[in-house]
Amino acid sequence: MIYVTRRAAFSASHRLYNPQLSSEENIALFDKCANEMGHGHNYVLEVTVAGEPDEKSGYVIDLKKLKEILKREILDKVDHKHLNHDVEFLRGVIPTAENVAKAFWRVLQPHITDGKLYSIRLHETENNAVEYRG
Amino acid sequence: MIYVTRRAAFSASHRLYNPQLSSEENIALFDKCANEMGHGHNYVLEVTVAGEPDEKSGYVIDLKKLKEILKREILDKVDHKHLNHDVEFLRGVIPTAENVAKAFWRVLQPHITDGKLYSIRLHETENNAVEYRG
Amino acid sequence: MIYVTRRAAFSASHRLYNPQLSSEENIALFDKCANEMGHGHNYVLEVTVAGEPDEKSGYVIDLKKLKEILKREILDKVDHKHLNHDVEFLRGVIPTAENVAKAFWRVLQPHITDGKLYSIRLHETENNAVEYRG
Amino acid sequence: MIYVTRRAAFSASHRLYNPQLSSEENIALFDKCANEMGHGHNYVLEVTVAGEPDEKSGYVIDLKKLKEILKREILDKVDHKHLNHDVEFLRGVIPTAENVAKAFWRVLQPHITDGKLYSIRLHETENNAVEYRG
Amino acid sequence: MIYVTRRAAFSASHRLYNPQLSSEENIALFDKCANEMGHGHNYVLEVTVAGEPDEKSGYVIDLKKLKEILKREILDKVDHKHLNHDVEFLRGVIPTAENVAKAFWRVLQPHITDGKLYSIRLHETENNAVEYRG
Amino acid sequence: MIYVTRRAAFSASHRLYNPQLSSEENIALFDKCANEMGHGHNYVLEVTVAGEPDEKSGYVIDLKKLKEILKREILDKVDHKHLNHDVEFLRGVIPTAENVAKAFWRVLQPHITDGKLYSIRLHETENNAVEYRG
């Protein structure tokens, strides 16, 4: 079994806010992350696919293909966007790193047919990261 | 002469938009950076102060003091904020990295009294950075 | 299951020396790490907590809380210290990265009540790191 | 159980080319990686050994020893070389990162006698990496 | 004056070899860099342009334009290539980092018309870099 | 003119303490950096040499030679040492980054005979750095 990882970066805004709570409860829960006008990050995404290398190519998955899948399914939809407002597949989701990683998994998994999706790792800052393995 | 640099990071949203231009002109000029809901970055700021080390301390400037100045004058005002809406000293400024670096210089310079402010370097992404030397 | 990681850095001295061995045996075993006056590192600590995101917040653990726990229980006690002399919870321990990571686990685990402590990763230099998973 | 990781870098050329396929098939499969004169990378290798720390030393494995093993068995043979032409243990292998990581495992495993070899991680670029765990 | 920097990476092979010297002299001069089959690097290029921000855009130079110039004039010609064999503008040049940086300057300068080209910085490895300022 | 930079890392302890001041004054001046048992860092040193590339080699300075000079004159004397106690050329110096950089300049300059020493840059942590240009 080989684990192949592709890294990509994107820049987006978000706001942590639960509409079922009051303004005060949101600030108590999310502090400065609840700032009304939002804030943003250079997110770093690492997608790992697990499988056996193909005999003919020596690849688990052609990383050029994985790069294209990431671009088409994820980056084109979230880069230079506001995660609360602009992204169809995040509608109704509080965009914490945890929830965004799970949403990315749901979007990507059907497209990974060489090997199997193993992990989505999402860095929000240089000090904070989450990982989801399905 | 010694050049002393302190690095700090902050997360903010911005939108590149010139209100004197039409929507179409803004999109032609700023492309996806003009996205209505904005987008964001983990900005990395490097502030350099130049001077001679003090004989008693061996310091050009005490980096704990510089850290406090950066926190009080810059980071507390821009971290987890929207640069177009939430920051007094950026009112009326198109928040390109160039303009933000110049604004940071204006804010910081009066507070640097040990040594002289030499450079403001601002990284918007891992691939894009600007530097202003006054 | 989501794995949430918080990264933090601290600067400390240490010396690798087993008091039950002779000076010569210590030098044979630890080489330049046994230098009598010690040496030091910018350690990088990565603490990973595993759990399910809370429905109300979308968080496995509020990273602001984890940051405070790390500061209070670990960083305030080891940053700008000598690990052999200044740290209560390392008394009698040879401060190899392996042993320090295990000690950090013992100190942190009772304080992680949202999710479960999953891993302590400690980088001693840019080329050397250890990980402990309990 | 503690996982100890040593990181090392080397600079090498390679070409992705399957001699059982035609030139056209190779270009279809490997695209610019099939360039006749080859291309190159600063590979970053991370070798992880798992075990219990020794009581006398506090080490799972002495990282100085692991460093020497990596130098003698791997780096001296691949650094500043062409992986398709200059490396005995890669003869007949299409040098994808997947295949190179597996070859490194075969070469290193017999030499790791303190603890057990747990993982070989090989970064080809800052965006592409593979991991093999035997 | 503002200094704007765009960073880009490419992977290439090279061999340091002076055809006017004997094999022995080349090995004495270039050591393992003279390896007949070549070796390679993930080069990191940083291009800095100096100028005043435009009033309408707040840009010294639109970094999207600079990115396109770098892609068209440099990256498409050197990425996944052998610098000694595949690159028209390096014909007859010993491809040391110094000489490559100077060649990049000659190629890029005529295309930088917003602001002026100020510096070409080229990292060959994480420990070695050169800078040319014309 | 080309500027060639070699990067190297070392791990050392230091304590900031001026023997001409009282204990209280030292703590007021240096805070936790005055901790009696010292603390430590993974210092990162960047040495830049300026000159014209040699016609025969294409080098300003052979980086293998610069690497050896750095090892012999600096790294072998400071790596895994206590800067206040173990280093001849730092006797009587308060080892702030500023003072250490200046001492490194004095030690290195006579040995740089291909090109001229242009800059010593010393990173004490990932957030603090100094540069000295003679």
Read off the pLDDT of residues D35-91 as tens digits, 9 standing for 90 and up. 999 999 999 999 999 999 999 999 999 999 999 999 999 999 999 999 999 999 999
- For residue B114, the tally of other CB atoms under 10 A from its CB is 15
Round to whole Å and give the CA distance between F120 and F108. Answer: 9
Q: Tens place of pLDDT for every residue, chain C, 134 residues?
A: 999 999 999 999 999 999 999 999 999 999 999 999 999 999 999 999 999 999 999 999 999 999 999 999 999 999 999 999 999 999 999 999 999 999 999 999 999 999 999 999 999 999 999 999 99
**Cβ distance F100 to B59 under 8 Å?**
no
In C65-133, beta strands by DSSP E: 81-82, 116-123, 128-132
Can you read off the two tokens belonging to residue D120?
A: 């070989």
Q: What is the ipTM of this complex?
A: 0.96
The residue-averaged pLDDT of D20-35 equals: 97
The answer to whether the Cα torsion of D9, D11, D12, D13 is positive or negative is: positive
Q: How much is the pLDDT for D33? A: 97
Q: Please tell me whether residue B71 adopts helix, strand or coil conformation.
A: helix
A28 touches chain B (CB under 8 A): no
**Cβ distance B17 to B26 under 8 Å?**
yes
Q: Report, in angstroms and rounded to the nearest whole number, the Rg of chain C calculated over CA atoms.
A: 16
Q: Please tell me whether residue B48 adopts helix, strand or coil conformation.
A: strand
Q: How much is the pLDDT for E21? A: 97
Can you read off the two tokens belonging to residue F55?
A: 């016609």
The residue-averaged pLDDT of F120-129 equals: 98
F102 touches chain B (CB under 8 A): yes
Round to whole Å and give the CA distance between A10 and B41. Answer: 9
* Beta-carbon contacts of residue E58 (< 8 Å; ≥ 6 apart): B16, B18, B93, B94, B95, B96, B98, B99
The residue-averaged pLDDT of D95-99 equals: 98
Round to whole Å and give the CA distance between F35 and F32. Answer: 5
Round to whole Å and give the CA distance between A91 and A77. Answer: 13
Do the chains contact at A7 and D129, CB–CB below 8 Å?
Answer: yes
Active-site residue identified among F33, F46, F73, F82:
F33
Cα A5 to Cα A2, A48, A64, D108, distances in angstroms: 10, 4, 12, 22
**Cβ distance E98 to F53 under 8 Å?**
yes
Chain A environment of B86 (Cβ under 8 Å): 35, 37
CA distance F38 to chain B (A): 16
The residue-averaged pLDDT of B71-83 equals: 98
Q: How much is the pLDDT for E35? A: 96
Closest of C95, C93, C101 to residue C33, by C-alpha:
C95
Quick one: what percent of chain F has pLDDT higher than 90?
100
Q: How much is the pLDDT for F104? A: 98
Active site residue C123: no
Helices (H), A37-133: 63-70, 76-78, 97-108
Cα B86 to Cα A17, B92, F6, distances in angstroms: 18, 12, 42
Tell me the catalytic residues of E: 33, 80, 124
The residue-averaged pLDDT of B98-123 equals: 98
Can you read off the two tokens belonging to residue F101?
A: 């950089």
**A54: which DSSP letter?**
P
Do the chains contact at E98 and F59, CB–CB below 8 Å?
Answer: yes
Can you read off the two tokens belonging to residue E95?
A: 């491809």
Round to whole Å and give the CA distance between E102 and E121. Answer: 10
Active site residue B33: yes
Chain C environment of D8 (Cβ under 8 Å): 127
Q: Is F115 exposed, middle or buried (0-12, 13-18, 19+ CB in 10 A)?
A: buried
Round to whole Å and give the CA distance between C31 and C19. Answer: 15
Q: Which domains does chain F have, with CATH numbers?
A: 2-132 (3.30.479.10)
Q: Which of E37, E80, E125 lies nearest to residue D11, judging by beta carbons?
A: E125
The residue-averaged pLDDT of D107-111 equals: 98
> How open is the CA angle F116-F120-F125, to the nearest 5 degrees?
165
CA distance C102 to chain D (A): 9
pLDDT along chain E (134 residues), means of 10: 98 98 97 97 98 97 97 98 98 98 98 97 98 97
F13 touches chain C (CB under 8 A): yes
Can you read off the two tokens belonging to residue C84?
A: 């052999």
**Cβ distance C74 to F116 under 8 Å?**
no
Q: How much is the pLDDT for E130? A: 98
Quick one: what percent of chain B has pLDDT higher than 70?
100
**Cβ distance D83 to D40 under 8 Å?**
no
Round to whole Å and give the CA distance between B33 and F94. Answer: 48
- The gap between the terminal CA atoms of chain E, to the nearest Å, is 18
DSSP string, chain F: -EEEEEEEEEEEEE----TTS-HHHHHHHHGGGG-TT-EEEEEEEEEEEEEPPPTTT--SS-HHHHHHHHIIIIIHHHTTEETTTS-GGGTT----HHHHHHHHHHHHGGG--SSEEEEEEEESSSSEEEEE--
Active-site residue identified among B39, B80, B85, B98:
B80
Chain C environment of F33 (Cβ under 8 Å): 80
Do the chains contact at F13 and C39, CB–CB below 8 Å?
Answer: yes
Do the chains contact at E29 and F3, CB–CB below 8 Å?
Answer: no
Q: Which of C7, C60, C64 lies nearest to residue A98, judging by beta carbons?
A: C60
A123 pLDDT band (50/70/90 cuts)? very high
- The gap between the terminal CA atoms of chain F, to the nearest Å, is 18
**Cβ distance D82 to D39 under 8 Å?**
no
Q: How much is the pLDDT for E40? A: 97
Closest of B101, B91, B83 to residue B39, by C-alpha:
B83
Do the chains contact at B31 and E1, CB–CB below 8 Å?
Answer: no
Can you read off the two tokens belonging to residue E127?
A: 């420990």
What is the identity of the amino acid at C24?
A: E
Q: Please tell me whether residue B100 adopts helix, strand or coil conformation.
A: helix
* Beta-carbon contacts of residue F39 (< 8 Å; ≥ 6 apart): C11, C12, C13, C40, C79, C80, C81, C82, F13, F14, F15, F32, F33
Can you read off the two tokens belonging to residue E107?
A: 């190629």
CA distance C126 to chain F (A): 9
**Cβ distance E47 to E10 under 8 Å?**
no
* Beta-carbon contacts of residue E55 (< 8 Å; ≥ 6 apart): none
**Cβ distance A10 to A27 under 8 Å?**
no
Tokens 């004169």 correspond to D37
A118 pLDDT band (50/70/90 cuts)? very high
Round to whole Å and give the CA distance between A65 and A74. Answer: 14
Q: How much is the pLDDT for A101? A: 98
Chain F environment of B8 (Cβ under 8 Å): 127
Round to whole Å and give the CA distance between A4 and D125. Answer: 12
Q: How much is the pLDDT for F28? A: 96
Can you read off the two tokens belonging to residue D109?
A: 């495993």
DSSP string, chain D: -EEEEEEEEEEEEE----TTS-HHHHHHHHGGGG-TT-EEEEEEEEEEEEEPPPTTT--SS-HHHHHHHHIIIIIHHHTTEETTTS-GGGTT----HHHHHHHHHHHHGGG--SSEEEEEEEESSSSEEEEE--
Active site residue D124: yes
